[in-house]
Each structure stands twice: as structure tokens, then as C-alpha cells.
Structure 1
Amino acid sequence: MTPDVSTPKRRRIEPEEPLTLDNSDDYVPYIPVAQRRQQRLEQLANRGYSRSSALNTVNDAEEQEAREDEEREEELRREKARKERTLLEEAQEVHKRKAEEDGKKTTWEKDQEADEKILAAIVNQRKLASDLELAKGILYTESLRSSWRPPRFIRERSEAQHARLREKYHIIVDGEEIPPPIARFSDMKIPAPMLKHLKSKGIVDPTPIQLQGLPTAFAGRDMIGIAFTGSGKTLAFSLPLVMIALEEDAKLPLEKGEGPVGVILCPSRELANQTYENILEWTGAMAAGGYTQLNTLLCIGGISMAEQSHVFNKGLHIVVATPGRLIDMLEKKRFNFESCKYMCMDEADRMIDLGFEDDVRNIMSFFKHQRQTLLFSATMPRKIQDFAQQSLVRPVLVNVGRAGAANLDVLQVVEYVKQEAKMVYLLECLQKTPPPVIIFSENKNEVDDIQEYLLLKGVEAVAIHGSKTQDERQYAIKSFKSGAKDVMVASSVASKGLDFNEIQHVIIFSMPKEIEDYVHQIGRTGRSGKTGIATTFVNMNTPEQTLLDLKYLLMEAGQKVPPFLMSVEDPRAAQGGALKGCPVCGGLGHTISNCPKLEDTQRRTMASHRGNDEGGY
């Protein structure tokens, strides 16, 4: 059967609307150029223009339109090019402009900018505060209140009179409401037994750092104390703590398990032990005069705390410690800082430089209340000062001379000695003055070699360095101080704050890279107003930058500069601009960009990071 195929139906197609470019009301159809020109000529003729003037006007109009069209097209091309440019091309242009700007700057200006960038990067540290204070955003704005006040006649003096007294002793101060300087111990209201004891030791008048530092500490103010080695800084920060502890005990005697009232932190065991012995002497003098016998604890590594168990049987007034052992005792809760209101860091810049910064923050976390904080050192560069200013409450800066400057009571002699001739020449140098003499070397093995050589030559010598046991270190210091040994050969461990009053001569066998270490080493002589000699060996092995630091230090102190040292030229001198010292180490012969101390700090940081990455228990 044939399928039925139906015819498809046809649909009617509606006519489409004519195509236009734009259906909007403001659409203007295109008019050919010749027709548009004819229309303009007719319009001008209707206005009374002659044919020649009408032609000129139309030609000018067409030229203007052509120029505008070209400008629009050029702008469109530029816009398209801008959109098509890559980030790399833009970066190249920025670098090119910066290079042109840098080309206009002097080398000195470029170096200054580079140094400022480095300094800004390394000073970005958290302030020294407890974790609780940082977490809660606790910010102290007022200093601790103190019951001490200067005598009325001191308070009634004008600020101009105070300024004249400070100027007389070359004291530079900075801060708000600075306490007045006081030129006599008796006017500081120090108890009679202490005055008698100081007089018996030949200490009659305060040194410049004590003249301004003691009133500042007595007033309860946070303080940054800077003074050259041997200037009496230990008395300036220890005596206020003794007075505070006596006052607190008079209010309410401390019982077993209570205290301490204050803590003194030191970077080395030897310095802590020396401070501890001084405080025992002063507290003993006060007890002999009828005051309470204060209980003082020495908290350092290398000694058994069981030997001081009797100290814990009573209330604890003062703790002298190194950071590691102090943290250990606090974590074991042998004592706490519930009532601690005084904290001093001796050789504060060295504490932070030696990697104790995290330990100090850890110690801060044990404080429950505001405390009076004091930082003391002979060398405190601008970086540490700025850091301290942020961490303390309304601090007073007391500076006797330039931070990092050498003691002017030390005669500095620099001699060029070949490496192989050092040992022989050392014996000649020992003939300059009678014993005792200290010899410094940066290398522990060299320290042992020098001691062995001197013993073979019949010289009574002892050695001290970081690899010695605590008993060996204590024996060396005691035998040297007592006069049983004539010479002590030491690494830099003995250069920080240790007090040997009778030292007339210091020999620096190997010049340290950091000029700060040199300042501390020569400071073992010329202490407490006495004079001394420091002989330094240098040769081709000594870095030129270190020689330059040494040259400027000698010039600043008015010392004789040997010709070979004077011939060392400063590359910065040819660049123009003022020569500034390094803000990290205080050296005058280099900038922060080539500071050996900064390099050493970065090396230690990288080493610690590698150690952490390697893991271990």
C-alpha cells in the first residue's frame, strides 16, 4: 500500500525590518565627504561669505578634523599598547628610573640608605616584656613609686645647676623628669654603716656613673647606664637593690619560701660570682651596723645548689644569676618572682648578643607585676639602646662618655709583631711592668699553648676559657686574685666585667675582630681611677677593618697612633659625608653593612636554625 504523503503547509514569512547600524534616537547616518563639503559651502554662502573665503574656511575645518582624527587614533594605539605591556616590561622601566635616580646620588648617600635599611630590618624585635603582658596588651606608663627623695637643698637647686654638675663630670642624660645628680654619698641618704664601709675601701666620693645613676635608681626609675670599664657600675646597680631589700624586710620580714625582692642577671659565671661576693660584703657591713642580714643566693651553672640549701631555709632577698640556671630554678619552683620588683642586667648588650634574648624573655614571663628594670654596660650600641628604650618604662639614659669608648686611664700601645715572633716577644712585654698581668687570646687552644710556654719559661701562669670546668675556672681566678699566680691567660670569657684592681698591664696576644671585645679587654686595667698599660699585637692576619676600628679608637682617646696603623686608609673618606660609627657594635671604622658582629650573629642564627631542622631530642 502506497503511504499517504501529505503536502507540507506553507508558512507566511513576515518582511524583516531594514538593517540599521543603530536604532537609537541619536543615530546620525553617514554622509560622504564631498556631500558634507558641499553642504558647508552652501551654509557659508547663505551667511554672505564669498566663494574664496568659504573655501578657505572649509579647508581649515577639514584640516582640523584630520588632525583630531590622527590624535584619536594615536591615543587608541597607545592605550592598546599599554594594555598589551607585560609586568616584566613595567618592572624594567621602574628599575631604569630608579637607576637614573641613584646615578644622581653620591656613593656615601647610597651607603647611608643601605645601612638604614639593614638597621631597620634588625631592630624589628619584640620588646622585652613577659608573655602575659604582651598577650594582654599590658602597657605600663608610670614608673614604680619610691619612698626615697633627695634632700631639700638638692631639690631646690635649679635645672641649670644640675646641668653644670653633669657637664663637670661629662655626664649625658636623656629622659623625662630626670632625678638630680648628687656629688656626695652622704647626701644620697645612704645609711652610716655603708658609708663607713665604703670609706674603709677608699671609696669616698661617687664616680660619675654613681653620681647620677644612684639617685636615678633610688627614685625607682628604669635606667640605661653606660660608662667605661672600671667606673663603679656594680655599686651603682647593686646598692639600690640592697636598700630596697632592707626596706621591704623592715615592712614585713620575709619567711621561708618568700622572695626574692630583686634579681641581677650576668652573662658569665665569673661576673655573677664577683657581683655576688660584692653584695655579700655590703650586706654584711649593713648587718654589722644593726640592720637585717639579707639573704643572697648565687644561681649559676657548674655549682651544686645543694651547697646553698641553707639560703632557702629563710626568706630570699637577692638573687645573682646567669640566665640558664635561673630559668631552671624558676621552672622547678625553688623560688618565684611574686614579690620581685627589681631587675638589673649587667653587661646588657652582651646578654642579648650572646643569644640570651629568648632566655631573658622567658625570665620576664615569671614576673607577675611591674618591676624596675636597669641595663648597664660599657659598650651599648645604638641598636641595643633603641631596643631598651622600647622595653623600659620612662627610662633615663645615663651616659658617661661615648658608648663603646676606651677608658682614658689606659695607655694603649699597638705593636706590629709577626705571627711566628709573638711568643718570644711576649716574654719581653712581660718585663714592662711587675705582675699581675693578663694575656688575652681569642683562641682556646692558643690560650693553653701560651700557658704551657710560660710555664716552661718559669712564669707562674694560669689559664681560663669556656672549655675549662667550673672548678678550674674558679681556681684560676682565686689564685690570680690572691697573688699566688703572676699571669692569667684568658679568652674573652674573662674580659666582661671582671674586676682585678691591681692589674697594671694587659697584653692582647690576638686582636679580636669586634672592637667591643677590645674595649672590654683593655678595661681590665686602669680601674677605679688607677692607670694601666695595654699592649696589643697586630700583623698581616689582622683584618684591615679591625685595624681601622682600632685606629679611630686610638685617635678618639688621644693615644699615639703608630705609622703602620696611620697608613690604613678609610674607603669611606673619599665618598664625602660625615663618618659615623656602626650602630650594631659601635666601631668607628666601618658601617653596619660590613659589621663583623652582625655577621657573627647571623652565622649563629643560621646554625641554630640548622640545628632545629635536623631535629633531635
Structure 2
Amino acid sequence: MSDSPKKQHDEDMDDEFVPYVPLKQRRLEKLHQYATQRRVPEPTTQPESDSEDDAPIAGPKANISLLDQSAEVRRQRALEEKTEEQKILEEEKKIEEAQARHKALVSVQEAAAGMQYTEPMKTSWTPPKHIRERSEDDNEAIRNKFHIILEGKDPVPPIKHFADMRFPKPVLDYLRDKKIHKPTPIQIQGLPVALSGRDMIGIAFTGSGKTLAFSLPMLMLALEAELKLPLIRGEGPIGLIICPSRELAQQTFEGLLAMSQYLSKGGFPQLRSLLCMGGINMREQQDALAQGIHMVVATPGRLQDMLKKKQFNLDSCKYLCMDEADRMVDMGFEDDVRNIMSYFKSQRQTLLFSATMPKKIQEFAMSALVQPLIVNVGRAGAANLDVIQEVEYVKQEAKIVYLLECLQKTPPPVLIFAENKNDVDDIHEYLLLKGVEAVAIHGSKTQEEREFAIRSFKSYKKDVLVATDVASKGLDFAEIQHVINFDMPKEIEDYVHRIGRTGRSGKTGIATTFINQNCSEQIRLDLKHLLREAKQRVPPFLEALEDPSEKLGLAGGCSYCGGLGHRIDNCPKLEQQRKQQMNSMIGSRSGGGGGGGDY
């Protein structure tokens, strides 16, 4: 008998019955549930297959509250927070990477063919037996004594005497007559490296004898080639030296001529050299071209022109040196040099020399070298310690009058540097009016005027030479006791090159620099640090300058140009290069154009 409808209804009500829970108890249960959710479960191994009980650990459906998730995110960010120093270093690294020269300094043909030389050049030169048998510890002791740093594989031993370098007697006579009795530190290590056929980067302060360190090995290589098989018309050169300025090329060429004449008088074959630069008539050198040339000293623009016209070729050239190599790249000759390299038909020994070679230029240059040795005498970009640096605050309008007072510090000859051509002309005219025997050179003067000025100044017929930076790179004025910087250059490297015209070959010199508020703060900070490094007196108006890098504890200066008083993010050289790039882009868009190179 079936249950009655009433009884069935009561049973259904029993199934749906929910007992009453007081409000207070419900709140306690909710709080308990919330507290349970806040506990972060310990990490467990993830099962191989997903189960229904798996729950997300982040997001709206996580078993952690959104408040706790937010707190965890803030904690992680706090851990990742970088210091101000780290942020600056990371920013600088980005700038360095953006400025990195990814294009290798090799010829287009070599790059296209994927040609890579793995072994350095070999020469017939070897050091004497007692030097070959010397231990590496003894070699390192000699380097330490002369403050020489040598980097690279298979180091070449240093040699302290010219006689041990196995030069022929006429060369030793030339050195003796030039009163060069013993090699300088860069020559002690640089000459053996170059004579052994190794690629090298040579870095040494101004006036340290770098020119001899690369011109003598080229002379020996050319002499050996001539003795084996004399050159005939259309052959040569054996060696090539590229310089950034005409004056420097002229000076290097004259040194090679003098050494060749000593060899010729000593019974050796006549070695012919060619000077290849703008402003001179190449027809005057047709005799050398007609007989075959052993050595060429050139500026990039005219050299390209001569190679293009097939006046001579580089088929048999085995020796390439770039003097003031970093300045060559800075002055816009990089593509010219790469184009010149495309004329080489085989491997060559490559040498790069300069007083200021920042790390970035070194890394860029390494692409052209094979197992190079880096010979470093002192910090790249450091000032010559034989120069007494005096910095004076002079108002702009008082500079030209104060010059006469500065000229009384030392007897002539004196070299005055100014930043632009108009200032050079004004100073020259002012000194002539005051009865001072002065000459001037700058880029707008004719080659005859420039040569006359240099010649008369070197022969002591004129007491003062007023010049732009064309006279600051590598020129050797043996007896100069005083250099005056009429204005501070925009880059500290130019300052180092300028003051390096005095204090040469171990002599002491004075450099006086006029400075005022027209100079940028970066260059004043660079100068302050350079004076400190050279242990020179720092004037109060420079000492009072606040250095942001010192506050942050950053050391090392600019990684791009090597200046000690600024960082790469406010490097004046980098800013100047960016402006030049922008101007060249605007010029190309507007249809303008211009030739490169020093003619």
C-alpha cells in the first residue's frame, strides 16, 4: 500500500531542510575560510597528469588573495631595483653598442671573399742569440723597468741597444749624428716587434720616438727587397706610411730621405721614396716613379687619387703603417683607408701608432690585424710627464694682450695654438705689429706658405709659430720650450697632442693654457683630471668644479674618447660626430656632395 501524499511531502521537506545558523557563527566561518585561503601552500612536485584538484596560483581564481599577490609583486620589484650606478653603466653600455663599428677595417674584396689571414708575416730578421735565450721573466723585468705593457700571443723580447737590433752601420751612424744614443721605451719594444714582421698597435706619449719605431723597419724591409732583386719601372712600393696631415707626411718623408742617403753613402743601394700629398706637383717626383719606388709616405686623399690613376700599385707592398691612426678615423678617413686597403693583392704587415688611442678604436682596428701585439707605454691619452702644465684664467677680451706677457716666460722658439683660422691670423698680425718675428699656418694657406712657415720656424729664423691643430699631430720641433694654448680645444685629445710639441726626447717644456667660462664644463673637468693624473698643480677655479661621476663613485672616464672628466653619455667627441653625420645626411638629401681626403 502506497504512502499517503502527506507523508511523502514530509519526507521531501526533511531532505531540503537546512538548519538555521546564527549570523555570528556564519561570520566566524567566513573569517576562518578567508584565513585558510591566505596560507600559501608549500610547493609540491607537479604531477605528470593534470587533476581536477589543481588550482591556479596566480590570477583572479588563485588560492592566494589579490592583496597578497600584489604584495608579492611589489616585493619582487624591490629586489630587482637597480642602483643609480648600475642604471648609468647599463645606459652607457647601450650607447657603446650603438656606436660599435661592426664594419671590419679590411678591404671590400677580402670581406666579400671571406679571406682571413691566420698567421703573421715572417721576416728574415732575428734577434741575437743572447736575447733569444733570455727567459720571459727577464724580458718582463725589462718591460717593467721602462713601464712597457705588452699584450698579445707569442711576445717578442725587448732590446735595449740599437746595435743588438742588427741595423747596418750607416743607420747607426745616422742615429749617432742625430744624437739618438739609446732607444726610447716605445722603440725598445716596438722596433723588435716591427722587425720581426708582427702586426702591432703602438701607444706612447707625444715626443717618445714613435716615428723612428715604424720608419726604420720599413727602411730595412725595402733595403732587403732591393738587395734580393732591384726594383724596375712600375714596381713598388715595398712599404707605405699614411699620415692624417701634410706637415706630418712631409716630416716623415724627410726622415726617410736622410736615412736613405746615409745608406747610399755607406755603399748600399739607393732607396727611392715618394711623397704623395696635396699641394705639391707630383711631376717633380717622376724620376722616382720612373725607376720604381721603395717607400711611399702619403695623405689618404692624394694616395687614393694616385692609385686610381694607376701611377703606381700596391701589388708588392708588404708593409702598411698608419701614423696617428685614431685621428685618421676621427677625421673621416675611415672609408678612404678601407678603400686604399682594397688595392693590396696579398697579406701585409700592419702597424697603427698614436699617442691617444681609445679602447673603442683599438677594438675596431684589431679587425685589420693578424695576431697583433699591443705595445703600450703609459695610459693611452695621458699627457707627457716632461711637460709642466700651467692653466690660467684669462678673460676672452684680455687674451691677445696677455700673450706678450706669456712669451716672456721662456726664450724662443714658442708655438701658439688657436682653435680657428681667424684667431690665428689675428694673433699673427698682432705679434708682427709688436715686432715679434712670427709665422702662421692653417688649412686655408697655400702649400708654399705652409712649407715656408715650418721651414723658417725649424731653422730658427722665426721665433714664434701660430697654428691651428694642423701643427699639433706628430710634428717634431726639437728645441721648443714653450707651447701656448690661446684657447682650450674642444677635445682633451687635441690638448694632449698640442702640449706634446714641447718636452720631447726627454727634455722639459712648459705649456700655458688660457681658459675661461667660454670653455664647456666637460672639457674643464677633463683638464682637471688630466692635471691630477700628471701630478700637476690644479688651479682653484678647476678644483672647485663638481664632478658628478665622483659623487656616484664611477671611475675610468669616457670609454669612447678616453677623457677622464666625463662619461660616454655626454662625450663632446661623440656629439660632434653625430652632428657631422646629421649634416652629411642633410647634404646628401639636398643633392650636395663633397670629396674626402687631404689634398
Provide TM-score, normalisation by structure 2.
0.87
The correspondence of residues 266-285 of structure 1 with structure 2, limited to 5 A, is 266-285=243-262
Counterpart of 2:182 (choices 189, 192, 205) is: 205
| CA positional deviation for 1:106 | 2.2
- Shift in Å, 1:611: 1.6
User: Is residue 2:158 matched to residue 1:181?
Assistant: yes
Q: 2:276·2:298 contact (CA, 8 Å) conserved in 1?
A: yes
**3-state SS of 2:351 partner:** strand
Separation (CA, whole Å) in 2 of partners of 1:75 and 1:537:
67
Residue type of the partner of 2:118?
A: T
Matches within 5 A, 1:216-295: 216-295=193-272
Contact 1:106–1:575, Cα closer than 8 Å, also in 2: no
1:329 aligns with 2:306: yes
| Aligned positions of 1:62-211 closer than 5 A | 100=77, 104-211=81-188
One-letter amino acid of the counterpart of residue 141, structure 1: T
State whether structure 2 residue 593 is matched by structure 1 residue 593.
no
Over 3 Å counting, the alpha-carbon distance change for 1:69 and 1:179 in structure 2 is: closer
Q: CA offsets per residue over residues 135-157 of structure 1, 9 Å max, x none? A: 01011010011111111100111
Task: Give 1:581 deviation, angstroms.
Answer: 2.0
Distance in 1, matches of 2:268 and 2:255, equals: 17
Instruction: Name stretches of at least 5 consecutive residues in structure 2 with no aligned partner.
Output: 1-10, 16-32, 38-50, 63-69, 594-599
CA RMSD of aligned residues (A): 2.6
In the other structure, the counterpart of 2:361 is 384
Instruction: Tell me, yes or no, if the aligned pair for 1:463 and 1:489 is still in contact at 8 Å.
Output: yes
Q: CA deviation at 1:336?
A: 0.4
Identify the residue that residue 583 of structure 1 maps to in structure 2. Answer: 559
Deviation at 1:103, TM superposition (A): 7.8
Give the Cα separation in 2 of the matches to 1:97 and 1:280: 74
Deviations 1:325-372 (A, max 9, x none): 000000100100110010000000000000000000000000010000
Deviates further, 97-106 or 553-562: 97-106
Match of 1:58 in 2: none
Corresponding letter in the other structure for 1:426: L
State the one-letter code of the partner of 2:414.
Answer: V
Q: Which residue of 2 aligns with 1:611?
A: 587
Name which of structure 1's ranges 383-392 and 363-372 shifts more when overlaid on structure 2: 383-392
Deviations 1:84-134 (Å, cap 9, x if unpaired)?
xxxxxxxxx9xx999957983222221111111111221233111111110
Between the aligned partners of 1:499 and 1:366, the Cα distance in structure 2 is 31
On the 8 A contact 1:144/1:220 being kept in 2, the answer is: yes
CA distance in 2, matches of 1:315, 1:518: 41
Which secondary structure does the structure 2 equivalent of 1:263 belong to? strand
Q: Which runs of 5+ in 1 are unaligned?
A: 1-33, 39-62, 80-92
| Aligned residue identity for 2:511 | A
Alignment counterpart, residue 278 of structure 2, candidates 301, 315, 339? 301
Q: Which residue of 2 is the match for residue 42 of structure 1?
A: none
Q: Distance in 1 between matches of 2:142 and 2:58?
A: 74
Distance in 2 (CA, whole Å) between partners of 1:254 and 1:506 is 44
Deviation at 1:427, TM superposition (A): 0.5
C-alpha displacement at 1:466, in angstroms?
Answer: 1.1
Corresponding position of 2:537: 560
**Residues 1:572 and 2:553 are matched in the alignment:** no
8 Å Cα contact 2:356-2:381 kept in structure 1: yes
Q: Does 1:519 align with 2:496?
A: yes
Q: Name the CA distance, whole Å, in 1 between partners of 2:76 and 2:448.
A: 61
Identical positions, percent: 63
Q: Is the 8 A contact 1:102 1:110 kept in 2?
A: no
Residues 99, 222 of structure 1: CA spacing in aligned structure 2 closer, same or farther, 3 A cutoff? farther
Change (3 A) 1:593 1:288: same
C-alpha separation between the residues in 2 aligned to 1:206 and 1:178? 19
Distance in 2 of aligned mates of 1:431 and 1:130? 52
> How far did 1:616 drift?
4.7
Residue 401 of structure 1 and its aligned partner are, at CA, apart by 0.4
In structure 1, distance between residues paired with 2:170 and 2:289: 27
Matches of 1:461 and 1:225, distance apart in 2: 35
Q: How much does 1:73 deviate?
A: 11
* Secondary structure of the corresponding residue to residue 105 of structure 2: coil
TM-superposed deviation, 1:275:
0.4
Corresponding residue of 2:468: 491
**Equivalent-residue separation in structure 2 for 1:326 and 1:393 (angstroms):** 24
In 1, Cα distance between equivalents of 2:253 and 2:584 = 32
Using the TM superposition, name which of 235-244 and 584-593 deviates more. Answer: 584-593
Aligned-partner residue type, residue 463 of structure 1: A
User: Deviations 1:571-605 (Å, cap 9, x if unpaired)?
Assistant: 111112x4112122111000111110111111111
Question: AA paired with 1:611?
Answer: G
Equivalent-residue separation in structure 2 for 1:223 and 1:76 (angstroms): 61
Kindly provide the amino acid, as one letter, of the partner of residue 613 in structure 1: R
- SS of the equivalent of 1:344 reads strand
Give the residue type in structure 1 aligned to 2:433: L
Structure 1 match to 2:428: 451
What is the one-letter code of the residue matched to 2:335? D
- Aligned partner of 1:565: which letter? L
Check whether the contact 2:414–2:464 (CA below 8 A) recurs between aligned residues: yes
Please state whether the residue corresponding to 2:531 is helix, strand or coil: helix
What residue identity is the alignment partner of 1:598?
L
Contact 1:284/1:293 (8 A) holds in 2: yes
> Does residue 428 of the first structure (1) align with residue 405 of the second (2)?
yes
Q: Is the 8 A contact 2:236 2:315 kept in 1?
A: yes
Any conservation in 1 of the 2:237–2:313 contact (CA below 8 Å)? yes
CA distance in 2, matches of 1:99, 1:435: 69
Q: Say if 1:345 and 1:376, in contact at 8 Å, map to a contact too.
A: yes
Structure 1 382/75 Cα, relative in aligned 2: closer, same or farther at 3 Å? Answer: closer
Q: Is the 8 A contact 1:298 1:321 kept in 2?
A: yes
List per-residue Cα deviations over 1:548-580 (Å, max 9, x = no partner). Answer: 11111111111111112111111111112x411
- Larger CA deviation: 605-614 vs 226-235: 605-614
The one-letter amino acid paired with 1:501 is A
Distance 1:99 1:447 in 2: 62
Question: 1:473-512 to 2 correspondence within 5 Å?
Answer: 473-512=450-489
Aligned residue identity for 1:593: D
Asked if the contact 2:106/2:367 (under 8 Å) is kept, the reply is no
Instruction: Give the stretch that moved more between structures: 600-609 or 547-556.
Output: 600-609
* Residues 71 and 134 of structure 1: CA distance in aligned 2, closer, same or farther (over 3 Å): closer
* Correspondence 1:514-553 to 2 at 5 A: 514-553=491-530
Q: Report the residue type matching 1:117 in the other structure.
A: K
User: What CA deviation, in whole Å up to 9, does each residue of 1:449-468 have, x standing for no partner?
Assistant: 11111111111111111111
Give 1:70 deviation, angstroms: 12
The answer as to whether partners of 1:464 and 1:473 remain within 8 angstroms in 2 is yes
Deviates more, 1:180-189 or 1:566-575: 566-575
Aligned length: 543
2:481/2:508 contact within 8 Å kept: yes
SS at structure 2 position matched to 1:313 = helix
